[in-house]
Structure 1
């Protein structure tokens, strides 16, 4: 785009809440690109040398920072902010943790666990999980959004109609994300970089990895979206279909309980088939398995399925 500029947002421009009164870190024009320096999901509290004790001592006031905000000139309530993911600057390492009190099966896993990953910088080689499995990489940022119309500070942990911690693995390189704008300038921020994640992120963490990210910001005037939408540049599955899947289900009148039971079933299968312990199986489900609603129309019970690709164990 003619006149496009590249802006850099440094790592000190990180904050821990969405707030429409926060001073912008940068003002950009529609069509400009913004390069965010390394974003770390826990503000440096974990490292490649970390142990499970570091998980126990995490300060949750420093979890899920976002970088920005970016004021997009001309953005007004009712517009959509179009965010295109252009690329990542990887660190070569990441982590997955079971954090007590957090995750889909928090009641089942009272003790913390930690897995440190090492990966090649091109994202092309699957990441080895304790010699048991090879997880394909697909980098994305879990938290992408804009400021709320309401005054005050809002946590970065949940998702909102304005985006936030959506943890959608398909919002990766080449994807166009459209977010409803609620305040002048939009006040865009981004964070929570991942190397890989299954749909559902069931243990509460993916392969969390400090990374830089570059995006292009543009506007769609007057779209009046209620919630974010996105367009992918091609196929979204990075799992390997050619060897099929192990699939477990949960069935009942409550979608949350059905989801929990589908994951519990897969943990049991992985323990039996691949000699994983329960914590390893739970973390592997989070980074590479997919939780899907299979049926939601035949009252009073719904069906949730959990898909684990056989290929990762070859």
Structure 2
């Protein structure tokens, strides 16, 4: 069995960066089952924004470069029908991150047509990192909770598949609960599994509603282990730790303000819930609508509250009150 940090994949190795899932890609690294591998990752925008970027730079963003993955890693002994166990050992953010509202013409974000103008928030991830938060604006602190948006394996089908959507083999699953200490299980479809990852996030709400989280470059370490005899596993499964639950309890420790969206269409119910949260943040907290949209994307949670009482669905958008730490917000 390989030892900790005995393998490393760098973003500077251009051949390891890919924007498509393709089972014909040559492995950038080959390891045995149980190996620990560290990755030096680009952010979800291929590092197109810098710490000095502004909203004026957003229209120049190339969406075609979104969600770059680093890899693939070939795991010896991995065969179709097996499962890859991915243990997240360490996740370290860069010193800055960003959240963007893209022009509505891109069709990106749950309410994209209501936010026609570009916006960009650059986050300082260094100054208060030891205290576990980053500042949205004075009086509003967002807990830093790193995870990877893109974690996945090559698909069985021949050809190229975008890294932007999620698949049954993983990919851009954007699941904020899969953080340090968590374990992800992925169904293997090709020999060697061909594991890749990327798209570091410093924080995100369930839903990533404006289309971006706190996007950042990241250093990640994972353990990759082939598991046999889990034939029931057809899609990504994950397991969290008690520490994750404690962090969630801290985030919601002051309660939540929750808006319900009701509609016969699940997506439209989600839009109504989000729109209501932005209305509340504007009316009660004095945020601009763009600020409310971005704040919901990085810390508010969309949840299916009710799905059986047809013909209507109920979706909630929950804003954690713990992010409001000072005047004029408390």
| Bin for the TM-score computed over the shorter chain | over 0.9
Number of aligned positions between the proteins? 313
- Cα shift at 1:239: 4.9
- Distance in 2, matches of 1:136 and 1:144, equals 22
In structure 1, runs of 5+ residues without a counterpart are none
Counterparts of residues 18-167 of structure 1 (less than 5 Å): 18-100=21-103, 101-120=107-126, 122=129, 124-167=131-174
Query: After the TM superposition, which residues 10-25 of structure 1 pair with which residues of structure 2 at under 5 Å, given as runs?
Result: 10-11=10-11, 12=13, 13-25=16-28
2:293 to 282, 286, 291: 282
Q: Which range moves more in the overlay, 215-224 or 289-298? A: 215-224
Whole-Å Cα distance in 2 between the matches of residues 3 and 43 of structure 1? 30
Structure 1 residues 238, 156: CA separation in 2 closer, same or farther (over 3 Å shift)? farther
The 3 A distance-change label for structure 1 pair 239 and 108 is: farther
Indicate conservation of the 8 Å contact 1:123/1:137, yes or no. no
Mapped to 2, the partners of 1:158 and 1:73 lie a distance apart of 27
Unaligned runs of 5+ in 2: 326-330
Deviation at 1:155, TM superposition (A): 0.1
Cα distance, 1:241 vs. partner? Answer: 2.8
- Greater shift in the superposed pair: 114-123 or 89-98: 114-123
Partner Cα separation in structure 2 for residue 239 and residue 264 of structure 1: 26
The whole-number CA distance in structure 1 between the counterparts of 2:113 and 2:92 is: 36
Please report how far the alpha carbon of residue 40 of structure 1 lies from its aligned counterpart in structure 2 after TM superposition.
2.0
The separation in 1 between residues aligned to 2:225 and 2:102, in whole angstroms, is 37
Identify which of 190, 208, 218 aligns with 2:215. 208
CA distance in 2, matches of 1:233, 1:42: 29
Offset from partner CA, 1:151-190 (integer Å, 9 cap, x none): 0000000000000001000110010100000000000000
Contact 1:124 1:137 in 2 (8 A): no
Where do 4+ consecutive residues of structure 1 move more than 6 Å? none
Contact 1:119 1:125 in 2 (8 A): no
Greater CA drift, 159-168 or 227-236: 227-236
Distance 1:41 1:178, change over 3 A: same
Contact 1:132–1:274 at 8 Å: present in 2 too?
no
Distance in 1, Cα, partners of 2:148 & 2:293:
22
Name whichever structure is richer in helix by fraction: 2
Q: What is the CA distance between 1:125 and its match in structure 2?
A: 2.5
The normalised TM-score by structure 2 is 0.92
In the alignment, which residue of structure 2 is the partner of 1:229? Answer: 237
231-240 or 177-186: bigger deviation: 231-240
CA RMSD of superposed structures (Å): 1.4
Give CA-to-partner distance per residue, 1:117-136, whole Å, 9 cap, x none: 00238464211112241001
- What secondary structure sits across from 1:280 in the alignment? helix
Match of 1:310 among 309, 321, 327: 321
Partners of 2:314 and 2:250 in 1: how far apart?
Answer: 22
